[in-house]
Structure 1
Amino acid sequence: MKVDLHRMRVWEAAMYLNEAVNNAPENIKEIIVIHGYHNGTSLLDMVRKDFINKRVGKKLLGINQGITSLILN
């Protein structure tokens, strides 16, 4: 499952991502979050540092700095 946060404000992105995680079916074990980083790091920082949800067990940082994978419990 993919979630694209481009062109969102931090608070909008946090709400949207939280909703996506909460509503993801049980068979979904990974959500790929596309947040970008060329136009600033506020979304990247929110996803990687500030975002908390009880279903997220791990955050994986890949080679592409504009993407973070959330591994769900």
Structure 2
Amino acid sequence: MNNGIVELDLHGMNSFQAKTFIDSRLKSAKKDIYRLRLIHGYHGGTSLKQMILKTYRNNPKVIRIEIGLNQGTTDLVLRELF
């Protein structure tokens, strides 16, 4: 964890494993966590990225999804940091 950002490395996981891992971290996220940074990579395809966008765009705990400047990361924003 780094200042309210939790990084989850999804390399080597299939979509089911990644979703299960992300769901467990979303469920256990405390109030000091405002962003989950999902590191999925992009050289091996975009299936994890597409699963993240489709699955979490309507999740009540996620206020928005941000695609990182690095193509291999996607952020789930849980709270605004003011």
Task: Say yes or no: TM over 0.5.
Answer: yes
Residue 17 (structure 1) shift: 0.4
What residue number does 1:3 align with? 8
Shift of 1:53: 3.0
Q: CA deviation at 1:41?
A: 0.9
1:20 to 18, 25, 28: 25
- What TM-score does the superposition give when structure 1 sets the normalisation length? 0.89
From the two aligned structures, give the one with the greater strand fraction: 1
Q: Is 2:66 aligned against 1:60?
A: yes
Misfit runs of 4+, over 6 Å: none
Choose the corresponding residue for 1:29, options 20, 26, 34.
Answer: 34
Answer with 1 or 2: which has the greater Rg.
2
Which amino acid letter does the alignment assign opposite residue 62 of structure 1? G
* Stretches of structure 2 lacking an aligned partner (at least 5 in a row): 1-5
Task: For 2:26 and 2:59, locate their aligned partners in 1 and report how far apart those are by CA, in whole Å.
Answer: 8
Calculate the aligned-residue CA RMSD, in Å: 1.2
Structure 1 unpaired stretches of 5+: none
